[in-house]
Structures are given as C-alpha cells and as structure tokens.
Amino acid sequence: MSLLVQQDVSLKPFNTFAVEVRARWFAEAHSEAEVRAALVEAERLGVNLLVIGGGSNLLLTRDVDALVLRMASRGLRVLGEQGGRVLVEAEAGEPWHPFVQWTLQQGLQGLENLSLIPGTVGAAPMQNVGAYGVEVKDCFAGLTALDRRSGELRDFSLEECQFAYRDSRFKREAGRWLILRVRFALQQAGTLQLDYGPLRQRLTEMGVASPTASDVSRAICSIRREKLPDPAQLGNAGSFFKNPLVPAALAEQIRAQHADLVAYPAGTGQVKLAAGWLIDKAGWKGFREGDAGVHRLQALVLVNYGSATGPQLLALARRIQADIFRRFGVELEMEPNLL
C-alpha cells in the first residue's frame, strides 16, 4: 500500500477539540513502511512531519505548515508469558479504549482503570496517561520506536522511557521518536485498584460485592460518562490541567483558608492538589465566553461549544492559570500538547 498524501486538509475531524485548522499536507500511516515513506515525503516537500494519534491531547492554534501524519496502524497480539504475567502488544494506531476492552476479553487485568480514555495506544506512553490510581507505566513492558534521525528501530524498556506524572522521554524529546507499537505485562488474576475516587461507591451502587476487572471497567466508564463530556458531542481534550505538585507548607496555607481542600500526599515534602478543585473554588466551573468555556460539571475540562478557535481556548486557559496563581499561589500546567 503506497502512502496517500493530500493537500490542504481540514484537521477538525482529527482533533477532539474540533478546532478548525488546516494542514498543508496530510497522510495516514497504516504500517511501518508508510511511516518511513512519510518521512521521505516530508523531506522532499521541505516541511516538518507532525505525527498525531487520536488528536485527544492536542490544542491547535493555527494552520499547520507541515505534513501531518495520522497513525492508523492496527494489530493486537498476545506474545506469551513473562515472569508470571501475560505480554500483549498493540500497534500505535489502535484506539485506546477498544484495546483495553480487548485485554479484558482475553481474561487479563491491569488496564481496566484506564477505560474510556480517548486517544490511541501509541500516544498513551507519551503522556504516561493515568486515571483512578493507575498509570500506563504500572503495566508497561516496552515499546518499539523509530528514530527519526537515524531511521533505526529501537526497543525501549520501562526505565529507558523515563516516565513521570503525565510525562515521558518521548514527550520531552518531541520530534525524535515515532512510536510504532507498545507492549504491556498484564495479570490473569491479582489485586484490583479500587481505592481512588468514587470507584468503590459506584461498584456498591451497581450491586457488585466482589468485583472483577470487567466490573471495574464498567464502573469507571459509568463515572467518566457522568463527569466528562463526549468529544463527539462537545469538543474537549479531557482534563486540561495537570494536578499540581506543591510544597506541603503551601498546601497547609491553602487548607487554613479552605478546609475542604482536595489534596494527596506525594512524598518528599510535596502534596498533589486537585486542579479541578482549585478551578471550581475560583468560580470558573460553567464559565463561557463565546464558544469557549469550562464544563458545567467538571471544572478541569475546557470545552468548545461549537466554533471556538484554538487561540480563544488558549486565552481562556491562560486566564484561569493567572487567576489560580493570584488566588492560591499555585501554577497550573496545561496537559494537552500545544501547537
């Protein structure tokens, strides 16, 4: 299959904020060969290559003078057992949530807390995506990436990925590594992570006393559908700000003024604050200016009500950041990649 390159393509269908910008060039890669062809084509055209997955962690603020390559490779495999766990591998273009459901259908657990997260498998390690007490790194077994400088393939171990909170080597070295496939080590039986957020309460409401991994997935899907807007109905990129890590002394200063502060110990004299609580307490939940706004049920989510532009959404984010710093002395960091 040869690479099909199109000119002047709208990226609105390829970013979950549904922001209308255009790519000078656009292509989809279904294989490693097409990825390599895209690198050659970008060089021939004299433009950069911008790689995207599901567009669920991206804020586009202008037209893209580049060859935009959407990863569309598919493939799911059980590789065998290693150290009492089952290794599975997925191609980078696989949608994340269907991949999680596939692992559950194989009788495997470990990724159930990450159910209903938008995006693709290849993008998940870049952000070290996480939810309900679990991050990608917790079940990660390795990945294969293409070095865009040398053209060589390289396998990365857990340690080599340098995972951190919503961060990784691949995010810090943006533009160098192109993730092709990712591997996870999952369990056939083990302890479920049930102690984060309202998960236990939801399972009780469902009448589940002894939950399975599939039960946990269903509960989390139920919670997420209530709290977070569906990008197909209302443009958004999920949680827009990271939960900030602050010195414990600052957290205590805030708690002295606000006894209901939502915070979690983070070790080494630090505390993780709930960014959504800060934004809600500052009165931003439900705010709307034109078509750019903050979701009425979840203060952590910025939304596009129809025709908001990337600059309008970015301006709103900057206003929120400035207000939170003024009120609490806390700097909020944006989670989506900004272009």
Q: Is 173 a catalytic residue?
A: no
Q: What is the pLDDT of residue 228?
A: 86
Residue 115 has pLDDT above 90, yes or no: yes
Structure tokens at 190: 């083990």
Q: Is the pLDDT of residue 160 over 70?
A: yes
Q: Verify whether residue 252 is a known catalytic residue.
A: no
Q: State the pLDDT at residue 174.
A: 84
Nearest alpha carbon to residue 50 among 38, 67, 73, 63: 67
Look at the block and give the residue holding tokens 């139920």: 222
Q: What is the pLDDT of residue 339?
A: 84
The reported pLDDT for the residue numbered 45 is: 96
pLDDT of residue 216: 97
Confidence of residue 1 (pLDDT cuts 50, 70, 90): low
d(CA 126, CA 58): 12
**Structure tokens belonging to residue 193:** 């992570």
Catalytic pick among 94, 112, 135, 166: 166
pLDDT for residue 190? 86
In the chain, % of residues over pLDDT 70: 100
Asked if the model's pLDDT at residue 77 lies above 60, the reply is: yes
Rounded average pLDDT over 129-135: 91
- The domains located in the chain, with CATH, are 6-71 (3.30.43.10), 76-186 (3.30.465.10), 235-338 (3.90.78.10)
pLDDT at residue number 175: 86
pLDDT by residue (tens digit) across 215-265?
999 999 999 998 889 898 999 998 999 999 999 999 999 999 999 999 988
User: Strand 153-156 relative to strand 288-289: parallel, antiparallel, unpaired?
Assistant: unpaired
Helix/strand/coil percent split, the chain, to 5:
30, 30, 40
Q: How far apart are CA 35 and CA 29, in angstroms?
A: 6
Assess whether 335 carries a catalytic annotation.
yes
Q: Average pLDDT, stretch 268-289?
A: 96
H or E, element range at 319: helix 310-328
What is the enclosing helix (H) or strand (E) of 330? none
Is residue 48 over pLDDT 60?
yes
Q: Which entry of 89, 91, 135, 335 is annotated as an active-site residue?
A: 335
Average pLDDT, integer, range 304-318 = 97
CB-based burial label for 237 (10 Å; 0-12, 13-18, 19+)? buried
CA 314 from chain center: how many Å?
Answer: 18
Residue 76's DSSP bridge partners are 90
Q: What are phi and psi of 177, to 5 degrees?
A: -100, 135
Q: Helices in 167-212 by DSSP H: which ranges?
A: 169-172, 199-205
Residue 197 pLDDT > 80, yes or no? no
| CA separation for the pair 323, 319 (Å, rounded) | 6
Q: What is the mean pLDDT of the chain?
A: 94
What end-to-end distance do the CA atoms of the chain give, in Å? Answer: 30
